[in-house]
Amino acid sequence: MWQGCNAYLRGASAKGILTMVLLLGFLFTLPFWMQSTPEEQQYLRQSTTAKIIQDQAMVLPAMPKNEQSVLRNMLKAPSSAQDNLDYDQIVWETDIRGLISRWVANDDEAKEIAHWTYHYSQRFNLSIELVLGVMSIESNFDHFAVSNVGARGLMQVMPFWKDKLGSPHDNLFVIETNIRYGCAVLRFYLDRYHTRARALQAYNGSLGRSKYSDKIITRMRMFKAIE
């Protein structure tokens, strides 16, 4: 039997081997799944999906040390809570508040989202439309949003980013913190993959599949992005 398996593995493609491993894993866990409670099944689904996203994100220790250092520096908090507003920033923040008003009724919250969206779009050289598109699709501009795999806040940042690359005590429900993390991770993926579509797919944990990136790019047009 083992000789047959060895012969098969020598002649199989990488995809074929991966399929076989996944099938064996499924068959092994099926009895446990059938005997588990609905709550345990839900936890298993969530933890498995979160693990896939984490693996695709190339988090420590898979990420090269130089990239870890770059991303850690990018994730540093600003030295002060406010910066000096110039005329362009005032105009942009006013425009952003208008664009998100259908989702964010609270004016103070809209001001804070607009301020940090502009601030980190500039800091990380991202288009404002891209950042707003991600927020819109990911959370509907709800800064307390939590996904079924544990992603949090406006830009649905996975907690492993703060645990491994930022600070474990950071609160991803804080508007400034969430936008800082989301924009830093987007910038990192843009630098790594060099195209907006692939960077978005990596951000979402769906590298190689265009459904998510297409949704973001379509939504960007709502926020006046120019292709």
Nearest to 132 by CA among 147, 117, 122: 117
Quote the CA–CA distance of 93 and 141 in Å, as a whole number.
15
Domain CATH number, residue 113? 1.10.530
Spatial separation of the C-alpha atoms in residues 152 and 158, rounded to whole Å: 6
* Bridge partners, 21 (sequence order): none
Same domain assignment for residues 18 and 110: no
Q: Tell me the residue range of the domain where 217 lies.
A: 65-222
Single-letter residue type at 104: V
Residue 44 lies in a domain: yes
Give the pLDDT confidence score for residue 136 in this predicted structure.
95
Total tally of structural domains belonging to the chain: 2
Residues 29, 140 within the same domain: no
3-class DSSP assignment, residue 146: strand
Which string of b and e fits 95-107 if b means at least 16 CB within 10 Å? ebbebbeeebeee
Tell me, what's the pLDDT at 72?
A: 78
pLDDT tens, residue order, the chain (227 aa): 545 555 544 555 444 544 554 455 545 554 544 554 444 444 344 444 445 445 555 554 466 677 777 777 777 777 655 556 688 888 999 999 999 999 999 999 999 999 999 999 999 999 999 999 999 999 999 999 998 888 999 999 999 888 777 688 999 999 999 999 999 999 999 999 999 999 999 999 888 899 999 999 999 988 875 44
* Helix (H) or strand (E) run with residue 204 in it: helix 196-204
SS3 142: coil
